[in-house]
Amino acid sequence: MSDKPDSGLPDPPIRSHDFVKILSHFFTPVSSNDRSPWQKEPVMSNPFPRARTRRAGLTLVELVIVVAILAVLAGLIIPKLGQTKSKSKAASAAATIQETSNNIQIYSHTTNRGFPQHVDSLVTTGGSVSLYAKLHKNLKAQLTAEELTDLELASLTGWGFQYVMDHDPASTDAPNSAVVERDLALGTEKTMAAVNADSKIALSIYPDTDGDGVANAPAGERLIAVGIGPKNDMVGKTMVQAPAMSLVSKKTGQVLYNRAIALIAVYDTADYPKFGHFKGVVSAWGAPADEHIGDYLEP
């Protein structure tokens, strides 16, 4: 039944504009003034409630987890990077040794000279003669600044090896510090860098056959060391420039003498004239090529 009171009169006909007004209630919000008394207040509800928004950034726990993961990754990667750098340095040193040795032999055969001149003597001049101070400590420990005997000097000059470059102790450019020319034929200064008989360098050339820890060089024969510096006679002939190795002092950060070191045998024997002889090349820190190759191949 209708809630309206019965007036006893028939319902008035629905006019067109009344029908439109009725329909508008379904599509247009109805104001409180237009709402009929029996209409309830419309309740608007969202069937899709808004999701809770999250604050941007990381929580403290998440940040701690990220830092821990990064620390683990760093612990795994950094040693590998150091090992890769060490292997690269070893491979480069071995290649430089081989390259320098090849250049010396090619120069000797193409010029009919025993050995290139104007190589670095590894000793200083001007006052007291001594080993150049900026040699790598491992190389310096294997050398001694010593005067050659007259016969040893003659074995060099008779071989055509006459001029060397002495180092300027005041130079701050270690790889290019050999700037003072010395004429060995004059015999006024005969000091060279002699290789110690019990050194790694000497043992790589003359193996220890009797187990006393000393190189078994033939009687009257010993080694001297020279550096293949930028003024050597091979530059412009068999090499574009003197090769250099990566060698920096860990204490001072300064670049040390980084040239390849050539080994020459000299002779102190009067039995018959014997000329100097090229024996090989080691790195700027006094290690032979096979040692650097071993470092590279080490797992």
Domain residue extents for the chain: 86-297
Q: Which amino acid is at 41?
A: E
Q: What is the spatial distance between Cα 191 and Cα 225, in angstroms, rounded to a whole number?
A: 12
**Taking all residues of the chain, what is their mean pLDDT, rounded to a whole number?**
83
> Which of 6-10, 38-42, 81-85, 265-269 is most confident?
265-269
At 127, the pLDDT band (50, 70, 90 cuts) reads low
Q: What is the spatial distance between Cα 87 and Cα 172, in angstroms, rounded to a whole number?
A: 29
Q: What is the mean pLDDT of residues 163-172?
A: 94
Cα–chain center distance at 154: 42
Q: What is the spatial distance between Cα 186 and Cα 136, in angstroms, rounded to a whole number?
A: 30
Q: What is the mean pLDDT of residues 153-182?
A: 93
Q: What is the spatial distance between Cα 93 and Cα 105, in angstroms, rounded to a whole number?
A: 19
Q: Is 194 helix (H, G, I), strand (E, B) or coil?
A: strand
Residue among 148, 151, 183 nearest 164 (CA): 183
Q: What is the mean pLDDT of residues 211-231?
A: 94
Q: What is the mean pLDDT of residues 136-154?
A: 95
> Which of 2-6, 76-80, 186-190 is most confident?
186-190
Who contacts 68 (Cβ-Cβ below 8 Å, separation ≥6)? Answer: none
The model's pTM is 0.73
Whether 92 has a pLDDT exceeding 60, the answer reads yes
pLDDT, position 252: 85
pLDDT, position 1: 47
Who contacts 282 (Cβ-Cβ below 8 Å, separation ≥6)? Answer: 97, 139, 201, 204, 225, 260, 261, 263, 288, 289
* Percent of the chain residues topping a pLDDT of 70: 76
* Percent of the chain residues topping a pLDDT of 90: 55
At 88, the pLDDT band (50, 70, 90 cuts) reads confident
205, 223 Cβ separation under 8 angstroms: yes
